Structure 1
Amino acid sequence: MAETDKMIARKDGAIATLTFNNPARHNAVSLDMWRACADIMKDFSADPAIRVVIITGAGEKAFIAGADISKFAEERSADNGADVYNEAVEAGYAAVYDCPKPTIAMIRGYCIGGGMGLASCCDIRICTENARFAVPAAKLSVGYGYAGVKRLLDIVGPSFTKEIFYTARQFDAEEARAMGFANRVVPNDQLETYVRDYAATIAGNAPLTIDSIKFIVGEIAKDAAERDMAKCEAMVANCFTSRDYEEGRTAFMEKRKPVFTGK
């Protein structure tokens, strides 16, 4: 697992946390940070002890405020520099989007450009009341590829996707919730506790059910011809033949909290 001083990976029982740690620049992301993001997420995905992943930014001012412009001359000056950087960004996005575990974006402050792109890759987005969202591409004549636009559109729909890109303005937390981008908006001083309690709730539920829902929802988002219906059906059937299914029924009858093992 690749970790830099600007990327912090932590595992606490069944909950893993990835922190973008560049608060002096509002957690703006460099090439090395995107590469570390992909490596860390692959480690989280492969760890059977991890059931939920939280992604956040260090400090009180920002989740992620886009790319680290101070690194552009160094990272994008070569002939293929932009291509290398864009490939690293997409690999980071893909590692989050394709993670088989539930992912929660814990957002405080600015969530701009690549920050919104990364949050779009997460399953759930929980933000503070002072959170601000924007994709300022139209102010910079920056193009956004199909995959990134589709991820946002799958969350907020066509009209809001167009509004976000057309205006390039900042939206507040309540607007983000109205669009469907923010699942929950909480007071600024309660974010950490709220998100960790939420993650613990998810981690305590049956992993096989959670896994099947994440996979099936992902398949629904694909074109019909690309959907793996056989795997969807197999994952559902696996739930009903598992020891966890027996544990769930027994715990219910005994009026106790079930202890699920994912088997």
Structure 2
Amino acid sequence: MKSRHSFADETLMASTDDHTGFLSFNRPQRKNAINFEMWHAIPKALEWLCAQGDIRCIVMHGEGGTDFSAGADISEFDRVRQDTDTARDYELSNATAFHAVRACPIPVVAMISGVCFGGAFGLATAADLRVASNDSIFSIPAGRLGLAYPVDAMGDIVDALGPQMARSMLYTGRRITAREAQSAGLLLTVCGLADLRETALELAERICTNAPLSNRASKASIRAALSGQEQDRLLAEKIAASTFTSADYAEGRRAFREKRRPVFSGK
């Protein structure tokens, strides 16, 4: 089943196709730069996607076929980040969006092409998996703007890049290529731009064929392991326990005995 909904004056789009959801930055004329309204809408769009029936994977990408996103729309900073109070409000909107991706119960795949800078880099590192075209360029230019990166989102960057590469990118503001990003562990796969969508959708399909409750349990457990927070551990244990008597667990055992591919319902 296909469905579609727009947010933030159609600059953020959410859509579904069978078991896969799509979160799309829709400002190609601005290299999909994320404005203040879009930051606020990202959690709402993810919530909408998670409510659309049996969605098992979400692919996050930029519209236009060239750029993932140039990050926060700096052209509006004189208005939305003009003093301490507005800057704090803006950073809270960033942190809330990063958290929404990180805490989304469904696995999120970032499909990256072209530029992936600043806040968009933060969203990509908050995703579970990242695939990119070989023309992709990555940068965290906070030091060139005199800004500090949200503290809670820094954990995603360090987890995705490793401490040394994270320090190098943040301290110098330098850009790295897709190959450098893959070597650092940021990217799962690098491919040609023409093959990017197929590569991302094949990955999404593999995710969707597995038991949704198992994937949710794995995501929650991985998050708990990375955060070290008691509340994350308790949530992971609760989700894991829900698999014990699930219909999908029974289907998995039955399919194993019958030597066939299991058909999971997410229940």
Question: What TM-score comes out, normalization by structure 1 length?
Answer: 0.93
CA distance in 2, matches of 1:144, 1:233: 31
The counterpart of 1:249, out of the listed 253, 256, 261, is 253
Other-structure match for 1:262:
266
Number of positions where the alignment pairs a residue of Structure 1 with one of Structure 2: 262
Shift in CA distance, 88/237, structure 1 to aligned 2, threshold 3 Å? closer
**For residues 86-125 of structure 1, what are the structure 2 equivalents within 5 Å?**
86-125=91-130
Residue ranges of structure 2 left out of the alignment (5+ in a row): none
Other-structure match for 1:54:
59
> What's the CA shift string for 1:140-191, capped at 9, x where partnerless?
2211132121111122221111111122111000100011111111111011
2:33, 2:69 within 8 Å by CA — same for their partners in 1?
A: yes
> What's the CA shift string for 1:185-228, capped at 9, x where partnerless?
1111011111112111101101111111000001011236x255
CA distance in 2, matches of 1:254, 1:128: 40
Other-structure match for 2:71:
66
Residue ranges of structure 1 left out of the alignment (5+ in a row): none
Offset of residue 232 of structure 1: 3.5
Offset of residue 135 of structure 1: 0.5
CA distance in 2, matches of 1:31, 1:192: 28
Q: Which letter maps to 1:35?
A: H
Other-structure match for 2:239:
235
Offset of residue 48 of structure 1: 4.4
Offset of residue 54 of structure 1: 0.7
Q: Which letter maps to 1:86?
A: E
In structure 2, the residue corresponding to 1:62 is in which secondary structure? coil
**For residues 194-205 of structure 1, what are the structure 2 equivalents within 5 Å?**
194-205=199-210
Task: Report whether the alignment pairs 1:36 with 2:52.
Answer: no
In structure 1, the residue corresponding to 2:190 is in which secondary structure? strand
Question: What TM-score comes out, normalization by structure 2 length?
Answer: 0.91
Shift in CA distance, 85/233, structure 1 to aligned 2, threshold 3 Å? closer
Identity of aligned residues (%): 35
Offset of residue 78 of structure 1: 6.8
Task: Report whether the alignment pairs 1:165 with 2:132.
Answer: no
Offset of residue 234 of structure 1: 4.2
Q: Which letter maps to 1:67?
A: A
2:26, 2:32 within 8 Å by CA — same for their partners in 1?
A: yes
2:110, 2:124 within 8 Å by CA — same for their partners in 1?
A: yes
